[in-house]
Amino acid sequence: NAGVMQNPRHLVRRRGQEARLRCSPMKGHSHVYWYRQLPEEGLKFMVYLQKENIIDESGMPKERFSAEFPKEGPSILRIQQVVRGDSAAYFCASSPTGQGGDTQYFGPGTRLTVL
Amino acid sequence: GENVEQHPSTLSVQEGDSAVIKCTYSDSASNYFPWYKQELGKRPQLIIDIRSNVGEKKDQRIAVTLNKTAKHFSLHITETQPEDSAVYFCTKSLYSGGGADGLTFGKGTHLIIQP
């Protein structure tokens, strides 16, 4: 039973380019969460999605960041016109039921470096 | 969401001794409190969780206690071993009941087991 998959594992972009991060949830899970982790800090919640719906994007920056979880394929976190401050590890997690207190299982993360 | 305060930020204990990590929060709505362990460069992994209808939960050498009235919860690791060395995060869910939501993370405790 494959766990949460993320790709790429490492991504290098120059300032002003776009970054696309992908997340495939565990088999049978249809709820995906994205988090950002800066060095030496805890994870910060960004967005929660179900298939074809954004449920909660309260942690997402208002500009340059967007997320989707289409009916087919992985969830994608997109960062337009990246800046150095976007350098971080981006983790996604998935959960099975969408009920309160649902256990979240994390992927290995994508480490984004902006030059 | 409301923050989670976690301390200490670094904890060094002798192998075989116990380690205790404490967290506090301020909102009344949270009712789910998972703990994650993150080794360097790896994904966060759930080690134990507790829901607000119980005060204590134990799994082998790991235990978690919750005082919902005082709004604090703690992780206890007994008979520590070298493989326990990692960063530990306390987390809580943002809202009570209803659907799933993003987790709020503490800043983490770097646990070092001295041989």
Using a CB-CB cut-off of 8 Å, the residues of chain A touching B104 are 45
Using a CB-CB cut-off of 8 Å, the residues of chain A touching B9 are none
| A56 close to B (CB below 8 A) | yes
Q: Are B11 and B113 in contact (CB under 8 A)?
A: no
**Quick check: helix, strand or coil at residue B82?**
helix
Question: Of A61, A23, A98, nearest to B102 (Cα)?
Answer: A98
Binning pLDDT at 50, 70 and 90, where does residue A1 land? Answer: low
For chain A, how far is it from start to end, CA to CA, in angstroms?
Answer: 37
Most A CBs within 10 A among B43, B92, B107, hence the mutation to make, goes to B43
CB-CB under 8 Å, A100 with B96: yes
> How far apart, in whole angstroms, are the C-alpha atoms of residue A72 and residue A84?
32
CB-CB under 8 Å, B102 with A100: no
pLDDT tens digits, A45-85: 999 999 899 999 999 999 999 999 999 999 999 999 999 99
Binning pLDDT at 50, 70 and 90, where does residue B99 land? Answer: low
And the tokens for B15?
A: 């192998």
